[in-house]
Structure 1
């Protein structure tokens, strides 16, 4: 005897809340599948360069910062030269100094310099700097500074700024002028000194240091900001002086009851960058003669 066939049950598309739940589940599964297939993002650092125009024989500094996205073993910040006929970065630059490193900074042959950072934990921030000197024989040209947070397994490389190498030395002519004026009288007599430092250009001057030499054993007082005093010496430092600009510092040299006779002081530029092409105006002198605490003259 034949059994009656089971009645077929037609498929009905879910409606209302059931349909919404079905679509949400499909969307979540799709997202999960996409996330499973895509590789984790690479950690890319950021950089800042002291100058994008560098003369052959001079230096430039690269500052870098970043945060490791995941634990990184044997990490390091690498630098390369891209889009250039100058060759690899290690071929025309050398390491002058570096910071932030956990081991000596090195040149990777046919690539460029590396700042070792050691093992980084996930979420750990890092940073440092490296100063490179361009070989004096480097021809004029340009290169794209490329950089990379390296770790075992490799990382993504990013393009930084384009740097131009010139064969024209950058120069800043620093002119030093020292003058003195007596401030005499019975109450606290002193010689008042004015130290003028002017940059004749053509480039901006940085890291300028001017040292004033005083009579042996004499100590200056009332110094301007940026100046320090030691027996027989005043040192004034300036972070930067733009081309065509200048700065003025002052200090005093007290006059005692027995401080009679000549008082000679000399101010000299002792350091600055870039090169100073005119040493003739790097030094200035001021000569005074003290006759009494109430009488002195200065030339």
Structure 2
């Protein structure tokens, strides 16, 4: 018992014994699951339990295999600060609040971006109002970091045809178009065309090869919204007669194609003879 308390009991005076001042803050987050490369925002508010000089709300990563918070996150923005928000040593990040009077309310936000390439893991978001003393470090929510979803690029395949007739070298020209509908850029793609039985292919574009019954065309990079084309000829002969259908299908591409519904297309030419054909 303190001397002050003992003296109060001796003289019969009801005297409150001073207690350590305590600052109080509370936090919330926009999401507890964040993909690498994305952001999450911490909102905080509270009341200073005593006068504080150069106070700040500090944030740390507890129970983490990812290291200190500055090791895998970058400050994107903040509010409520009286100076630039900054890394606090190598272990945390701070929103400076300036001088706080006893009982003064404070609030703000800190938006952190998880560094691209951060491996999946989790951490306990810890927080503390500090400035020449302050509240103990508290545990907040557990935040889970997930691998960023892989990029996707949708290829829409289109096949068109037109005839080149005459006595010399009659043929049908088929064009395989690969259009990138995004959202990412295409780094490579392959479209395979199925030929009708007995048909052959000539005059292939660069990047195309043929074997019995097929033509395979490879494409290099295609930007989002752009397209690339390859073509080849199907020769006509004296006995050519009936429909000549070529079907082109995406057989490979990178990155992943999320939509299989537009991976194939066909074009049909109706051949009456080597001098008469139509391709609608």
TM-score of the two chains, using structure 2 as the length reference: 0.48
